[in-house]
Amino acid sequence: MLEVRNLSKTFVIHILGGKSIEGFRGVSFRLYPGEFLGLTGRSGSGKSSVLKCIYGTYLPASGEVWFASERLGRVDLARAGEQAVLRVRDGEMGYVSQFLRVIPRIAAADVVAEPLLRAGSEAGAARRQAAALLERLRIPARLHDAYPSTFSGGEQQRINIARAVIRKPRLLLLDEPTASLDRESQETVIGILRELKEKGTSMIGIFHDRAALEAIADNVLELANGSMEHGRP
C-alpha cells in the first residue's frame, strides 16, 4: 500500500536567520494492506512530521513516498504535486490530526456526511450513515445539528475521527486520535479501527497510550535521535 524510502524533513526557520532544525531523517518502511504500523519516540522526535510528509501537509527535504493508489496507480506523493495529492486525499487517504481542526458553522452530522456527499451518495442516506456512526461514538443525537466548534475536546476528536473513517479510506494516518477520550470511547475507536483494518485499510498511528498501541499495532517503528528502529509493539 505504501513504501516510504529514506524520508527526511528539515525546517528552515527564517526568524532565526535561516537556521535549520531537523524534523526527522532516514525513515524507511513498507506498509501492506490491512497492516497497522505504530510510530513511537519521545516528544519532538518527528512522529507528527512523518505523518504530515505522507499526507502532503509538509514537503519532505528528501526521500520518496510511494502510494499504491486505486485511481492514479503507483504514485510518489513526495513529488506528485498538489492535484494528485488532493485526488488521493479524496477517498483514498484519511488523516486524524493531533490538534483539532474544526469547521465552523456546519452541523456535526454534515461535517461527517460531507465526504460521502462528495463521493456521490444521496443526501438522506449520507446523513443517516453519519448519524449512526456518531451514535456509535456516543455523540448524542441532540448534538448532531449543533456546531462542533462549541463541542468539548473529546467530542471534537470523535467528530474528526468519524469524518476520517466514514468513507473507509485505504490508508489512514492517525496522530494521537484517542488522546482526549475516556476509556469507553477509546475502546469504541479502537473497535472501529479494527473493523477497517479487517477490510484492508492500512494505518499508521501515533498513540501516547501504550495499551491502545498494543491493542492494534502489528509493528512499531521508533524514531530516536532523528532516525529510526523497527520492532514489535
Ligand X SMILES: Nc1ncnc2c1ncn2[C@@H]1O[C@H](COP(=O)(O)OP(=O)(O)OP(=O)(O)O)[C@@H](O)[C@H]1O
Binding site for ligand X (CB under 6 A): 11, 21, 23, 41, 43-49, 98
How many residues does this entry show for the chain?
233
Residue carrying the nine cell digits 490538534: 99
Alpha helices (runs of H) in the chain, residue ranges in sequence order: 47-55, 82-89, 108-118, 123-136, 153-165, 183-198, 210-216
Residue 154 gets the label, from left (phi > 0), alpha (psi -120 to 50) or beta, of: alpha
Q: Which amino acid is at 119?
A: A
Contact 63, 38 (CB under 8 A): no
Could you say whether residue 97 binds Mg ion (CB under 5 A)? Answer: no
Q: Which residues contact 161 (CB under 8 A, 6 or more apart)?
A: 96, 137, 177, 189, 192
Smallest distance, Å, CB 55 to ligand X?
A: 12
Tell the smallest beta-carbon distance from residue 138 to ligand X (Å).
Answer: 26
Query: Grid coordinates in use for 55?
Result: 499526507
How far is Cα 211 from Cα 77, in angstroms, rounded to an integer? 32
**212-222 burial code (b ≥16 CB/10 A, e <16):** bbebbbbbbbb
Binds 202, which of ligand X, Mg ion, none (CB < 5 to 8 A, cut-off by type)? none
- Residue 200 C-alpha cell reads as 484492508
156 binds, among Mg ion, ligand X, none (CB under 5 to 8 A by kind): none
Tell me whether residue 92 or residue 175 sits nearer to Mg ion (CB atom): 175
Applying CB under 5 A, the span of 19-27, 40-48, 211-219, 220-228 interacting with Mg ion comes to 40-48
The least distance separating Mg ion from the CB of residue 23, rounded to whole angstroms, comes to 11
> Which residue sits closest to Mg ion, CB atoms considered?
48
Q: Which of 8, 45, 48, 185 binds Mg ion (CB under 5 A)?
A: 48
Query: Binding string to Mg ion for residues 120 to 149, with x set by CB under 5 A, is what?
Result: ------------------------------
Which of Mg ion, ligand X, none binds 163 (CB below 5-8 Å, type-dependent)?
Answer: none
Q: Identify whether the C-beta of residue 230 lies closer than 8 Å to the C-beta of residue 200.
A: no
Measured between alpha carbons, how far is 21 from 49 in angstroms, rounded to an integer? 12
178 binds Mg ion (CB under 5 A): no
Q: Which does 63 bind (CB under 5 to 8 A by kind): Mg ion, ligand X, none?
A: none
Our finding on whether 45 is near Mg ion (CB under 5 A) is: no
Give min distance, CB of 179 to Mg ion, in A: 10
Q: Determine the size of the site formed for Mg ion (CB under 5 A).
A: 2
CA gap 132, 205 in Å, rounded: 25
Question: Please, which residue, 16 or 142, has the CB nearer to ligand X?
Answer: 16
Q: Which residues bind Mg ion (CB under 5 A)?
A: 48, 98
